[in-house]
């Protein structure tokens, strides 16, 4: 499956990665070759093979419904780029 | 042209767990911003989710309540998108293998008839935080306390044909989740939120029209209004030869209209894939059976029982089973007084009227179910008459006594049924009312029935309302007729 | 002091030859002198290390020393360490002081170990050469022209150079085993789910696993004893008892059935590496093991499958780095989209972006089935290959890497870099444990023998590696760099 410039731009937008045109052009090339390598998978017949999401056949353990965490806001917000009145600040979101 | 409306609802119910779906942070409403957002909720680097058992149990209970299939295996997926209130850049949800399969919710329409609405599935997911748009120097503030609160998203088939049906469906869901105790159902605090899919098509057409999704419709009333507006908009558009665009719209309750959101943005691509941090949830039969065995009686069953076993009318049964609080209250009144119909009349009459006047919910009623039950019991056993009962109710409402008996005693409202005492009062009234007696005597016999009212009133007045009105009536008639 | 194993250091501490504080100071001094050239550490935690060493000495004096009390180690900078900068090798987290400890960090601290600091790595563990670090490449102490391998290159180089006796790494596609091989040390990637991932910054969640890197298999066993075990905070960490991994070390290997995967000895394998590996296998035969050829028929699909699954998971795992709650944020964002796009463009390096883009693309609408679902199906076939092989043999052996450490800058092309991981990557897809142990040299550059076992057979792998190390001294070789600067 050939990769187009638009595919890279679309992926970059979905992933919120700013790319210059030069970078995008380079990634079209890189990603194209990676996908070419990946396309080798298509040669393999996997009809009827169940996808494997986890290497072990184990199931989800459930946690008891208990409050175990206490307020650590000031500690957690020490590494935040912009906070005010305990809120994380971002450029105005328009709805 | 005749148009047919197709409505489907996606109802998000906040589950009433103590802690979040994937972390041990509290879900309590109203805390200071970000004080209930722990490392996991914030999506700090390296953190991992662990699933809350109570959220699973609540989802399964809902599934059992709507007679849905509960698959043995369900899987969590990631829904990827960027938004400031979504800390990890993905929402952990269930796309391909939800915890609750197809089921049915029965709705009751205004005329008392019922209609089944199919539920496509219900899945567990985490709630997002909140963006606060007040002015932070032109910035938006993000509070992640709500992030990670468990949600059950209940997705219906497009089986509803009117705004009223949609509202009835939402009420039915509300009723089921509150009966089950899996949500507080508080719409004002966002415990139940709703997205509505609306499309119209010419009557008789097989294929569906293009639908619009209305986001964030957060009250029963808004659901009706948003749909009504949206249906009109779509019909008008189509009749003018236009086309409906598949899009997301926002309901604005202030202007009572829906308007398009994010038109400039390209369609989302959420890139769902199984969450590698969570393993398949496998529910064994014993676990599901245990939950089934411990389900409370559900609204539909209760309604049926009220009709069949208690002999209530379909309307009464439906009103009294509408919420768990209402049903619990009614059932306690009934248990205390021993009479379903009297209990139903009082709960829907005097009590409902007083609650309405004061804008109170039944749980906030100043008159407890026990107090009301004891009052009704005194009516049934003829200790007081209907008029006195209303007085007692008002006194209970105003907190003027701990029980009906205490108020009856203190205010001397006990009904007088002693024939001698009533006769004495009648004799006095007849003696004091020669003119009225004369009129009575001169009247045509078929007019006298109406004229007796005056004497009854005087006797009741003389007894300060405590005389048994039936006895007063009968004795008066005897005595007056004897004078003719 | 600096070239001893953990086991030897413990004996010295017990005998009172030196204190943990003296040992720690000695190693911190070496880091000061040598690491400028090597660049194996991103952050050295002098004060915390000395405080921990003193606490360990006090515990020892009180008769409360455990197997690891007072022993120094280093942590790959992918583990969150409370109040200590945790960068994952990325500009994105250059300013990130972690507010909590990873489970592995807690466990190792509880065992009394002394962390000297955080080691260099490929950014977000994406790389096979340590050239993808925001903090610059790490040199291979055996040959400064060579890479140390990656992504746990800093951990491997620091151990090889005698800066620290052991280090903790993580392995998503070979990131413990390949740098261990390139730097001539012993590294173990445990079974997926054996060690908690909580607090380990995720690259590809269904593949990532932490493990020990040290100077001997016996040391790896000691460390795994402390690291392994159930963690309530990691759903994928198994509820399964932890054996004493040192207990089986001395079990003789007579009767051991070794399988040599045909596909691991094919085209592209450096003949000198092959010769060293075959020599090592003859050592096992001399210890009573039998050797036979087996087949892992889907081996060549492992790299393509990996480069769908790992980038897909990574693209999602790395979405949280958005400049809102932590990490790099661009200056003066014009609006929300600008905040995201510029913060991420500035914060992530080239290889990370490449993998985010690949993962985003392969998960997007219309491509999911052809890529992601297909790769997961292939993943099952790959795991089945191993399960089938382990029906016939106890362990598999082969090279850890097709070549010895390559030159810095030699693999400019991403695909040729990816192909370096041909022998390690399938192991992560299958979730089985694997080790690399020193098995000779090509010129100055070490060769690693890879030993693989079925799920949860770490004790057996450590036993096999330990027996090999009882009969060989490849693991005792030290680079001239470490000695000249002693």
- pLDDT tens, residue by residue, B346-393: 999 999 999 999 999 999 999 999 999 999 999 999 889 888 899 999
Is C439 within a domain? yes
Judge: C368–B273 Cβ closer than 8 Å, yes or no. Answer: yes
* Mean pLDDT over each residue of chain C, to the nearest integer: 97
Judge: A89–B139 Cβ closer than 8 Å, yes or no. Answer: yes
Tell me the per-residue pLDDT of A11-55, one tens digit each, with 9 for 90 and over. 999 999 999 989 999 999 999 999 999 999 999 999 999 999 999
By CA distance, what is B271's nearest residue in A?
A: A14
By CA distance, what is C238's nearest residue in A?
A: A58
Tell me the per-residue pLDDT of C257-284, one tens digit each, with 9 for 90 and over. 999 999 999 889 999 999 999 999 999 9
* Separation between Cα atoms, residue C96 and residue C327, nearest integer Å: 6
- CB-based contact (8 Å) between C309 and chain A? no
Instruction: Please state the domain extents for chain B.
Output: 3-287, 297-411, 419-483
DSSP calls for B255-280: TTEEEE--SSSPPP----EE-TTSPP
Average pLDDT over residues B12-18: 98
Average pLDDT over residues B131-148: 89
Judge: C353–A27 Cβ closer than 8 Å, yes or no. Answer: yes
| B138/chain A closest Cα distance in angstroms | 6
Task: List the CATH number of the domain containing C397.
Answer: 3.90.1300.10
Tell me the per-residue pLDDT of B95-115, one tens digit each, with 9 for 90 and over. 999 999 999 999 988 887 889
pLDDT of residue A93: 81
Of the residues C19, C20, C76, C216, only one is catalytic, namely C76
Is C295 within a domain? no
Interface chains of chain C (3 or more CB pairs under 8 Å): A, B
Tell me the per-residue pLDDT of A51-76, one tens digit each, with 9 for 90 and over. 999 999 999 999 999 999 999 999 99
- CB-based contact (8 Å) between A27 and chain C? yes
Task: Name the percent of chain C lying above pLDDT 70.
Answer: 99
By CA distance, what is B144's nearest residue in C?
A: C325
Q: Which residues in chain B have Cβ-Cβ distances shorter than 8 Å to C86? A: 45
CB pairs under 8 A between A and B: 120
Q: Assess whether C76 carries a catalytic annotation.
A: yes
Of the residues C19, C40, C90, C151, only one is catalytic, namely C151
- The answer to whether C85 touches C97, Cβ cutoff 8 Å, is yes
| A71/chain C closest Cα distance in angstroms | 13
Q: For residue B262, is pLDDT > 70?
A: no
User: Best interface-test mutation with B: which of A63, A64, A68 has the largest number of B CBs within 10 A?
Assistant: A63
pLDDT of residue C10: 97
- CB-based contact (8 Å) between C306 and chain B? no
Q: Closest by alpha carbon to C236, among B55, B75, B48?
A: B48
Task: List the CATH number of the domain containing A14.
Answer: 1.10.20
By CA distance, what is C349's nearest residue in A?
A: A17
Judge: A55–C336 Cβ closer than 8 Å, yes or no. Answer: no
Is A33 within a domain? yes
Average pLDDT over residues C52-68: 97
Instruction: Give the count of domains, chain C.
Output: 1
pLDDT of residue B81: 96
By CA distance, what is B27's nearest residue in A?
A: A67
| B288/chain C closest Cα distance in angstroms | 22
Judge: A65–B34 Cβ closer than 8 Å, yes or no. Answer: no
Interface chains of chain B (3 or more CB pairs under 8 Å): A, C
* Separation between Cα atoms, residue C414 and residue C402, nearest integer Å: 17
Q: For residue B264, is pLDDT > 50?
A: no
Is A18 within a domain? yes
Is A79 within a domain? no
Q: Closest by alpha carbon to B174, among B24, B9, B19, B57?
A: B9
Q: B74 Cβ partners below 8 Å, 6+ apart?
A: B94, B97, B98, B99, B123, B124, B280, B281, B283
By CA distance, what is C124's nearest residue in B?
A: B45
Is A72 within a domain? no
Average pLDDT over residues C5-11: 97
ipTM of the complex, rounded to two decimals: 0.97
pLDDT of residue A95: 55
Question: For chain A, how are helix, strand and coil distributed in percent, rounded to 5?
Answer: 40, 10, 50
Is A29 within a domain? yes
User: Best interface-test mutation with A: which of C94, C171, C238, C361 has the largest number of A CBs within 10 A?
Assistant: C361
Tell me the per-residue pLDDT of B172-187, one tens digit each, with 9 for 90 and over. 999 999 999 999 998 8
Judge: B131–A93 Cβ closer than 8 Å, yes or no. Answer: yes
Q: Which residues in chain A have Cβ-Cβ distances shorter than 8 Å to B38? A: 69, 72
Q: Which residues in chain C have Cβ-Cβ distances shorter than 8 Å to A62? A: none
Average pLDDT over residues C130-138: 98
Judge: C362–A56 Cβ closer than 8 Å, yes or no. Answer: no
User: Best interface-test mutation with C: which of B45, B79, B139, B276 has the largest number of C CBs within 10 A?
Assistant: B45
Q: Which residues in chain B have Cβ-Cβ distances shorter than 8 Å to C363? A: 80, 271-273
DSSP helix/strand/coil, B401: coil
Is A89 within a domain? no
Nearest-5° angle of CA C376, CA C379, CA C385? 155
Select the residue of C202, C236, C336 nearest B46 (Cβ to Cβ).
C202
C191, two tokens: 């079974």
Sign for the pseudo-dihedral over CA of C444, C450, C456, C460: negative
Is A69 within a domain? no
Tell me the per-residue pLDDT of B69-87, one tens digit each, with 9 for 90 and over. 999 999 999 999 999 999 9
Is C33 within a domain? yes
Q: Which residues in chain C have Cβ-Cβ distances shorter than 8 Å to A58? A: 193, 236, 238
A63, two tokens: 């946690």
The model's pTM is 0.91
Q: Which residues in chain C have Cβ-Cβ distances shorter than 8 Å to A76? A: 99, 325
Judge: C197–B89 Cβ closer than 8 Å, yes or no. Answer: no
Q: Domain range for residue C442?
A: 6-258+391-484
Fold classification of B419-483 is: Arc Repressor Mutant, subunit A (1.10.10)
By CA distance, what is B277's nearest residue in A?
A: A54
Q: For residue C381, is pLDDT > 90?
A: yes
User: Best interface-test mutation with B: which of A76, A88, A89, A91 has the largest number of B CBs within 10 A?
Assistant: A88
Average pLDDT over residues B327-348: 95
Least confident of B442-451, C34-43, C56-65, C109-118: B442-451
| A1/chain B closest Cα distance in angstroms | 18
Least confident of B92-101, B112-121, C67-76, C103-112: B112-121
Higher pLDDT, B216 or B92: B92
Select the residue of B49, B84, B278 nearest C336 (Cβ to Cβ).
B84
Instruction: Give the count of domains, chain A.
Output: 1
Select the residue of C205, C326, C365 nearest B44 (Cβ to Cβ).
C326
Judge: C368–B271 Cβ closer than 8 Å, yes or no. Answer: yes
Average pLDDT over residues C406-424: 93
Q: What is the 3-state secondary structure (H, E, C) of chain C?
A: CCCCCHHHHHHHHHHCCCCHHHHHHHHHHHHHHHHHHHCCEEEECHHHHHHHHHHHHHHHHCCCCCCCCCCEEEEECCECECCEECCCCCHHHCCCECCCCCHHHHHHHHCCCEEEEEECCCHHHCCCCCCCCCCCCCCECCECCECCCCCCHHHHHHHHCCCCCEEEEEECCCCCHHHHHHHCCEEEECCCCCECCCCECCCCCCCCEEEEEECCHHHHHHHHHHHECCCCCCCCCCCCCCCCCCCCCCCCCCCCEEEEEHHHHCCCCCHHHHHHHHHHHHHHHHCCCEEEEECCCCHHHHHHHHHHHHHHHHHHHHHHCCCCCCCCCCCCCCCHHHHHHHHHHHHCCHHHHHHHHHHHHHHCCCCHHHHHHHHHHHHHHHHHHHHHHHHHCCEEEEECCCCCCCECCCCCCHHHHHHHHCCCHHHHHHCCCEEEEEEEEECCEEEEEEEECCCCCHHHHHHHHHHHHHHCCHHHCCCHHHHHCC
Q: Assess whether C133 carries a catalytic annotation.
A: no
* Mean pLDDT over each residue of chain B, to the nearest integer: 92
| C161/chain A closest Cα distance in angstroms | 34
By CA distance, what is C233's nearest residue in A?
A: A63
pLDDT of residue B127: 97
Q: For residue C112, is pLDDT > 60?
A: yes
| A95/chain C closest Cα distance in angstroms | 12
Average pLDDT over residues C137-144: 98
Q: What residues of chain C, 6 to 65, have a C-beta less than 8 Å from chain A?
A: none
Q: Print burial letters for C284-293: b (CB count within 10 Å at least 16), e (below 16).
A: beebebebee
């Amino acid at each position: 499956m050939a990769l187009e410039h638009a595919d890279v731009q679309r992926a970059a937008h979905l992933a919120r990665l700013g790319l210059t045109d030069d970078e995008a052009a380079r990634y079209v090339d890189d990603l194209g070759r990676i996908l070419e390598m990946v396309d080798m998978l298509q040669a393999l017949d996997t009809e009827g093979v169940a996808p494997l999401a986890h290497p072990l056949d184990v199931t989800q353990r459930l946690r008891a419904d208990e409050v175990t965490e206490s307020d650590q806001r000031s500690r957690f917000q020490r590494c935040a780029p912009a906070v005010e009145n305990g809120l994380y600040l971002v450029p105005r979101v328009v709805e | 042209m005749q148009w047919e409306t197709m409505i489907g609802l996606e109802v998000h119910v906040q589950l009433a767990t103590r802690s979040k779906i994937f972390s041990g942070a509290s879900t309590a409403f109203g805390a200071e911003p970000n004080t209930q957002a722990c490392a996991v909720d914030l999506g700090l680097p390296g953190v991992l989710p662990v699933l809350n058992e109570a959220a699973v149990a609540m989802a399964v209970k809902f599934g059992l309540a709507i007679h849905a299939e509960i698959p043995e295996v369900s899987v969590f997926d990631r829904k990827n998108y960027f938004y400031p209130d979504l800390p990890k850049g993905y929402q952990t949800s269930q796309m391909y293998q939800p915890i609750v399969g197809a089921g049915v919710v029965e709705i009751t329409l205004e005329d008392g008839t019922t209609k089944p609405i199919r539920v496509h599935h219900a899945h567990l997911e985490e709630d997002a935080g909140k963006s606060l748009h007040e002015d932070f120097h032109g910035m938006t503030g993000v509070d992640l306390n709500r992030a990670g609160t468990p949600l059950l998203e209940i997705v219906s088939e497009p089986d509803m044909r009117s705004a009223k049906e949609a509202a009835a469906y939402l009420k039915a869901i509300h009723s089921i989740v509150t009966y089950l105790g899996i949500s507080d159902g508080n719409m004002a605090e966002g415990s139940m939120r709703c997205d509505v899919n609306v499309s119209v098509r010419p009557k008789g057409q097989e294929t569906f029209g293009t639908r619009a999704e209305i986001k964030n419709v957060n009250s029963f009333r808004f659901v009706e209004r948003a749909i009504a507006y949206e249906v009109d908009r779509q019909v008008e558009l189509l009749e003018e030869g236009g086309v409906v665009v598949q899009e997301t719209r926002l309901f604005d309750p202030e202007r009572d209209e829906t308007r398009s959101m994010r038109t400039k943005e390209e369609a989302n691509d959420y890139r769902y894939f199984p969450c590698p941090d969570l393993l398949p949830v496998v529910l064994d039969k014993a676990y599901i059976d245990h939950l089934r065995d411990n389900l409370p009686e559900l609204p539909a069953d209760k309604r049926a029982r009220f009709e069949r076993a208690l002999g209530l009318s379909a309307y009464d049964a439906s009103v009294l089973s509408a919420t768990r609080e209402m049903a619990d209250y009614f059932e306690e009144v009934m248990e205390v007084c021993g009479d379903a119909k009297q209990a139903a009349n009082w709960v829907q009459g005097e009590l409902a009227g007083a609650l309405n006047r004061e804008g109170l919910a039944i749980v906030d009623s100043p008159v407890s179910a026990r107090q009301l039950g004891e009052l009704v019991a005194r009516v049934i056993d003829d200790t007081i008459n209907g008029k006195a009962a209303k007085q007692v109710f008002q006194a209970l409402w105003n907190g003027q006594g701990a029980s009906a008996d205490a108020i009856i005693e203190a205010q001397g409202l006990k009904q007088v049924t002693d024939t001698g005492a009533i006769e004495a009062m009648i004799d006095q009234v007849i003696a004091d009312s020669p003119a009225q007696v004369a009129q009575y005597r001169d009247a045509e016999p078929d007019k006298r029935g109406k004229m007796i009212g005056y004497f009854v009133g005087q006797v009741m007045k003389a007894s300060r309302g405590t005389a048994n009105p039936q006895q007063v009536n009968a004795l008066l008639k005897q005595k007056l007729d004897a004078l003719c | 002091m600096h070239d001893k194993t953990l086991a030897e250091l413990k004996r010295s501490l017990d005998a009172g030859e030196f204190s943990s504080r003296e040992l720690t100071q000695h190693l911190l001094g070496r880091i000061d002198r040598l690491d400028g050239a090597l660049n194996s550490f991103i952050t050295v935690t002098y004060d915390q290390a000395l405080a921990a060493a003193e606490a360990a000495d006090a515990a020892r004096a009180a008769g409360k020393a455990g197997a690891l009390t007072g022993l120094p180690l280093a942590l790959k900078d992918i583990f969150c360490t409370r109040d200590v900068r945790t960068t994952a090798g990325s500009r994105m987290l250059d300013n990130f002081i972690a507010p909590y400890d990873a489970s592995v960090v807690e466990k190792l601290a509880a065992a009394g170990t002394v962390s000297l600091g955080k080691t260099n790595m490929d950014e977000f563990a994406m790389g096979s050469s340590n050239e993808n670090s925001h903090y610059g490449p790490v040199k291979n102490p055996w040959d400064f022209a060579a890479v140390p391998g990656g992504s746990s290159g800093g951990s491997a180089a620091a151990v090889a150079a005698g800066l620290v006796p052991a280090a903790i790494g993580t392995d998503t596609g070979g990131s413990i085993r390949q740098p261990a091989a390139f730097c001539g040390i012993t590294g173990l990637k445990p079974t997926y789910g054996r060690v908690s991932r909580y607090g380990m910054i995720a690259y590809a969640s269904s593949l990532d696993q932490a493990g020990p890197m040290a100077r001997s298999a016996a040391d790896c066993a000691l460390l795994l004893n402390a690291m392994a075990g159930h963690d309530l905070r990691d759903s994928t960490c198994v509820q399964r008892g932890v054996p004493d991994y040192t207990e089986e070390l001395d079990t003789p290997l007579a009767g051991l059935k070794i399988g040599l995967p045909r596909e691991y000895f094919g085209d592209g394998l450096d003949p000198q590496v092959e010769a060293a590996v075959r020599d090592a296998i003859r050592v096992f035969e001399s210890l009573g093991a039998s050797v036979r050829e087996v087949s892992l028929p889907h081996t060549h699909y492992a790299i393509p499958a990996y480069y769908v699954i790992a980038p897909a998971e990574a693209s999602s795992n790395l979405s949280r780095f958005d400049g809102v709650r932590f990490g790099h944020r661009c200056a003066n964002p014009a609006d929300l989209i600008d905040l995201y796009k510029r913060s991420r463009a500035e914060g992530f390096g080239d290889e990370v972006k490449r993998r985010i883009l690949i993962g985003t693309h392969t998960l997007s609408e219309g491509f999911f089935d052809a890529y992601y679902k297909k790769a997961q199906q292939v993943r099952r076939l790959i795991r089945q290959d191993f399960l089938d092989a382990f029906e016939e043999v106890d362990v598999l052996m082969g090279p850890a890497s097709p070549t010895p450490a390559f030159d810095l800058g030699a693999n400019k092309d991403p695909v040729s870099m990816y192909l370096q991981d041909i022998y390690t990557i399938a192991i992560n897809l299958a979730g089985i444990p694997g080790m690399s142990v020193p098995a000779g040299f090509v010129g100055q550059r070490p060769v690693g023998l890879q030993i693989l076992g079925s799920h949860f057979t770490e004790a057996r792998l450590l036993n096999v590696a330990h027996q090999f190390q009882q009969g060989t001294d490849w693991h005792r070789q030290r680079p001239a760099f470490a000695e000249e600067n002693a």
